[in-house]
Amino acid sequence: MGYKVVVVGATGNVGKEMLNILAEREFPVDEIAALASRKSLGTEVSFGDRTLKTQDLEQFDFTGWDIALFAIGSDATKVYAPKAASQGCVVIDNSSLYRYDPEIPLIVPEVNADDIVRYKNKNIIANPNCSTAQMVVALKPLHDRAKIKRVVVATYQSVSGTGKEAIDELWEQTKGIYVPGQEVAPKVYPKQIAFNVIPHIDVFLDSGETKEEWKMVAETKKIVDPSIKVTATCVRVPVFVGHSEAINIEFEDFLDWEEATEILREAPGVMVVDKREAGGYITPIECVGEYATYVSRIRQDSTIENGLNIWCVSDNLRKGAALNAVQIAEVLGQRCLKKG
């Protein structure tokens, strides 16, 4: 006996990946529904070797459905997630709406799967920000060994994190640079993204940091340990898919880079590729379509007493969003719902 699963926002980049990953991982689905806004009603999406027609989110009755994977913006989620939850369907939400609610668990299964039992508070589970998800997968096993005091992270985030319009803007701007008269002015981003980097993701806060940077701080504390100090600089780069992060970690106790490498090799969800030679590391283009969070460039930081530097890369549409949501659904099924 399997689950009745709903994918909300099935025509978007993350919604499509959710459907792909549910099929790839052979999640025990008895029945599946693909929901979208009315303007996308009837659009066809793929689920394994099947084709689904999208149904109208506004009219959908969640009664009798087990799990709903939400991949829509916070405004729409605010309307429909409580509706689904009140009708007995457990919501796994990819938006930022519920991540900071103390009653709602924020889950990365490799890190804090035990927190999932708290879904009963509101019948909702939050999926973290894409840049946070991959970082905490790498941090948690190291924290368990030497306790992390402080993290300094600079991100290199792909345009797919913004959505299809951003992917199109990068593509069109790149072509336009080579064709006189076909230059494309920035619309999605405040400055040209092709052949450029933009140190600005989400809105600016009074503190001077952006909301994306604030998210990484707040979510790392909620998922891993509230005592960890985190400072982030989040940057958009001209890459289609795959987020990268340069992470500097300060520990309470000394941790040798070789031991850290062995810990990460054994850590769930992590793949170490670190040959210390030309090409002996992972770049975003190589992580596309993969489940793993890749770690390279593991080395001692000699400027502080107990420091390491690592390079972390992952497919943001997968581990940063859709894969993590499906993994949450798997843990929810195994530990709580127990149908599949």
List the catalytic residues: 130, 243
Query: Per the structure block, which two tokens stand in for 321?
Result: 């969003």
Least Cα distance to 244 among 157, 144, 153 occurs for 157
275 is in an annotated binding site: no
One-letter amino acid identity for 338? K
Least Cα distance to 300 among 257, 249, 262 occurs for 257
161 is in an annotated binding site: yes
127 is in an annotated binding site: no
In whole angstroms, give the CA distance from residue 336 to residue 328. Answer: 11
Q: Is the torsion defined by CA of 46, 52, 54, 60 positive or negative? A: negative
289 is in an annotated binding site: no
- Determine contact, residues 198/186, Cβ cutoff 8 Å: no
Q: How far apart are the first and last CA of the chain?
A: 6
160 is in an annotated binding site: yes
In whole angstroms, give the CA distance from residue 130 to residue 236. Answer: 13
306 is in an annotated binding site: no
One-letter amino acid identity for 193? I
In whole angstroms, give the CA distance from residue 206 to residue 219. Answer: 19
- DSSP secondary structure code for residue 322 in this structure: I
12 is in an annotated binding site: yes
In whole angstroms, give the CA distance from residue 213 to residue 182. Answer: 34
The 3-state secondary structure of 186-242 reads CCCCCCCCCCCCECCCCCECCCCCEHHHHHHHHHHHHHCCCCCEEEEEEEECCCCCC
Query: Per the structure block, which two tokens stand in for 213?
Result: 């940077």
2 is in an annotated binding site: no
**Rg of the chain over CA atoms, in angstroms?**
20
One-letter amino acid identity for 283? T
* 3-state secondary structure at position 244: strand
In whole angstroms, give the CA distance from residue 111 to residue 151. Answer: 17
Residue set of the binding site for NADP(+): 11-14, 39-40, 160-161, 316
Binding residues for phosphate, as ranges, are 99
- Residue numbering of the annotated binding site for substrate: 157, 236
Binding-site residue ranges? 11-14, 39-40, 99, 157, 160-161, 236, 316
